[in-house]
Structures are given as structure tokens and as C-alpha cells.
């Protein structure tokens, strides 16, 4: 059997949820489990994050799966309903849709749910993605409250730079100023805001990335934040090559040796979810010690520098990210985000579930 494997820890997710709760104060937590729980598996996340106050997903299918798994907590639909035909399932499954455009209001007005539902109203406070303009908050909130079949309303927004130096104030203050008079609960905090900006804690926080043990910040590691990686992608060296000075390795010969050296070939490639654009120097662990990738990542293999690893050979264990090598460190070196790496784990990679 090909040696690549993803180890996913249920216990690490439960631990990270406890860390999130320690920052949340009186706010309740929606555990964000969209995109197959950021590549970790919806069923595994449901168990690891069972103590969450609610779950947040993207689609009706994800929500229905959670209900079938026995989830009784509130489930938030982050992009709301995509047509009037989804109103009845929302009521049946007791889902809380996010409303972010006028068409969704029209659908609810024409086909009110037989069972009243909770809704979230999303306002655009500066990200300019989804949401009603803040300037229309009074009319939007009034219309939502008058919709037939609406049991309650929560206001929300989303931050564009909570994980960067610009922070949240430029969005949070206008949002709070505009919506303060409605007397309605509100939600704004993602992982980065939850960890760094307690003023963003309304009625509900929506942590995602941190629950899987990755830091949203470039200046604070997951370990420093008390988080544990839930996913470890590991494999082995399946071949060793000896290069002479001037010889290259891999497609396009992007790496050429400056001196004689040993190169290990690892059973992992972009078809497994490792980023093809990760070039020479991306960190990797061999036998528990740091090394670097060499050259271009292939579909099924990548190469690693064994110059300082005389003990390494065929069968030596390799960690691509996870225990001992934070996914955000690999992502930064590869010019991408830890979100992309985790979500890109391929279906062909076997998963070993850990407690």
C-alpha cells in the first residue's frame, strides 16, 4: 500500500474548541464545518466539535447530513438559501439561513415556511462580498422582522483583515454604530477576531480555522495560541537519488545541485493535495528533523533534500504538515494559505482517525 496517510485527531478538535470557548466570553460558538470540515471530514468534526453551541455550513446537503448524524444544535447556512425551493427544507431541518440579498426576502414572502425560522441578516461593512449595504440597515431590519415565518433576527458582518495589521476597527465601528438601535443580537467574530479582538464578541462567534489547529496569524503560531493540529499529512521516502554538481531533479529541472548531494523521493504530490506551486525550500520533516523540498512537485511525488540527513533512506517517515510542522508554515513558504492546503486533501489519501 502506498505509504501516504492523513492522521486526523478528534481529540485535537475538541481541545481547540475548548481554547475557542476560553476566548469567547458570553458569546456562543458556531463551529464552522463547511468544505467537509476544512478537509477533516464532516462526521469527524461533528464528533470532535460536539460541544459547540451550533454549526455553520454552506449547503443544505451539509446541514441535512449533520441532522442525520444526530446534531440537535442550531445550524447556520452561511450563504443562505439559493432558491424558494429551499425554504421548506430549512423549516423541516430547523436551519438558520443567512439573508444577504433582496431576492431571498422575496422568496420568503411568497413562500413563508410552515414553521417559523431564525434568520441572520448579513451587512457589508467593507469587505464588499456578500451583504446588504450598511446604509440600508433600518429598512432591511424592518423588512426582515415583518416577514411571515421569521421567528427571530440576528445581525451579522464579516471581517476582511482580522488576521492582518489593519485589524477590525474600520469595519466593526461602522457596523455597531449603524445597528446599535435595533436591539437585536449580532455576530461578527471569525477565528482571528475571536482570538485577538474581544470587542467583536456579540451573541455568536464563528470560529473555523482555529478549530482545526492552525493559526490565522503570521505573527503568532498555533502552538503559541494553545492550538493542536488536527490533521497530519505524512508519508515516506520511496526512492533515493545521488546528484552530482550541475545535475537537476524533477520536471523542468528547476533545481540543480551545486555540489554532490542525496535526494529523497517522497510518495506525495499534487494529486494528494500538496500544492504544485510549492517550489524549492518549502519546509518538510524527515525522520522528525527539518529539511526542504527540491524542484517541482509532481502529481504523485516530490523531492526532498537529504544533505543533512545521512540516516534517511527508503522507508524514512516524512511529515508534510501537522505534528511538528504547522500547516501555516508550509502554506506561507508555498505562497498560499493553510485553508487551501487543508481543504485540498485529496479523496485518494487514506485517513487514520485518532482519538
Taking residues 240-255, report their average pLDDT. 97
Domains for the chain: give ranges and CATH numbers: 10-212 (3.20.20.10), 231-354 (2.40.37.10)
CA–CA separation, 147 vs 176, rounded Å?
24
CA–CA separation, 46 vs 55, rounded Å?
9
* Per-residue pLDDT reduced to its tens digit, 147-175: 989 999 999 999 999 999 999 999 999 99
Region of residue 216 (left: phi > 0; alpha: psi -120 to 50; beta: else): alpha
CA proximity to 30, closest of 152, 202, 196? 202
* Per-residue pLDDT reduced to its tens digit, 41-89: 999 999 999 999 999 999 999 999 999 999 999 999 999 999 999 999 9
pTM for the full model?
A: 0.96
Alpha helix (H) residue ranges in the chain: 10-24, 34-38, 42-48, 60-68, 87-93, 102-110, 137-145, 169-179, 191-196, 327-334, 338-343
The set of catalytic residues is 34, 251
pLDDT for the residue 247: 97
CA–CA separation, 243 vs 241, rounded Å?
6
180, pLDDT greater than 90: no
Q: Find the length of the chain.
A: 355
Amino acid at each position: 500500500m502506498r505509504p501516504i496517510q492523513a492522521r486526523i485527531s478528534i481529540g485535537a478538535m475538541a481541545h481547540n474548541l475548548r481554547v475557542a470557548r476560553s476566548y469567547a466570553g458570553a458569546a456562543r460558538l458556531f463551529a464552522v464545518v463547511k468544505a467537509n470540515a476544512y478537509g477533516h471530514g464532516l462526521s469527524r468534526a461533528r464528533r470532535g466539535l460536539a460541544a459547540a453551541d451550533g454549526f455553520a455550513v454552506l449547503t443544505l446537503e451539509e446541514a441535512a447530513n449533520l441532522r442525520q448524524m444526530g446534531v440537535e444544535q442550531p445550524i447556520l447556512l452561511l450563504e443562505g438559501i439559493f432558491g424558494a425551493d429551499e425554504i421548506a427544507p430549512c423549516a423541516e431541518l430547523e436551519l438558520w439561513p443567512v439573508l444577504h440579498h433582496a431576492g431571498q426576502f422575496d422568496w420568503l414572502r411568497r413562500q413563508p415556511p410552515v414553521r417559523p425560522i431564525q434568520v441572520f441578516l448579513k451587512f457589508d461593512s467593507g469587505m464588499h462580498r456578500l451583504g446588504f449595504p450598511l446604509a440600508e440597515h433600518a429598512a432591511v431590519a424592518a423588512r426582515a422582522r415583518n416577514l411571515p415565518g421569521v421567528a427571530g433576527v440576528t445581525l451579522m458582518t464579516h471581517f476582511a483583515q482580522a488576521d492582518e495589521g489593519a485589524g477590525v476597527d474600520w469595519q466593526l465601528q461602522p457596523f455597531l454604530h449603524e445597528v446599535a438601535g435595533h436591539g437585536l443580537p449580532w455576530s461578527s467574530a471569525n477565528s482571528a477576531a475571536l482570538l485577538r479582538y474581544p470587542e467583536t464578541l456579540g451573541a455568536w462567534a464563528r470560529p473555523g480555522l482555529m478549530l482545526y489547529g492552525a493559526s490565522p496569524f503570521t505573527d503568532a503560531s498555533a502552538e503559541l495560541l494553545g492550538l493542536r493540529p488536527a490533521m497530519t499529512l505524512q508519508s515516506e521516502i520511496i526512492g533515493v537519488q545521488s546528484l552530482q554538481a550541475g545535475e537537476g531533479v524533477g520536471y523542468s529541472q528547476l533545481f540543480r545541485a551545486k555540489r554532490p548531494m542525496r535526494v529523497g523521493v517522497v510518495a506525495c504530490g499534487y494529486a494528494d493535495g500538496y500544492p504544485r506551486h510549492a517550489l524549492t525550500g518549502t519546509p518538510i520533516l524527515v525522520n522528525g528533523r527539518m529539511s526542504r523540498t527540491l524542484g517541482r512537485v509532481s502529481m504523485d511525488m516530490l523531492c526532498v533534500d537529504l544533505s543533512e540527513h545521512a540516516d534517511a533512506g527508503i522507508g524514512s517517515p516524512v511529515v508534510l504538515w501537522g505534528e511538528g510542522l504547522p500547516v501555516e508554515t508550509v502554506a506561507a513558504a508555498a505562497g498560499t494559505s493553510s485553508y487551501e492546503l487543508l481543504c485540498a486533501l485529496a479523496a485518494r489519501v487514506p485517513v487514520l482517525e485518532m482519538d
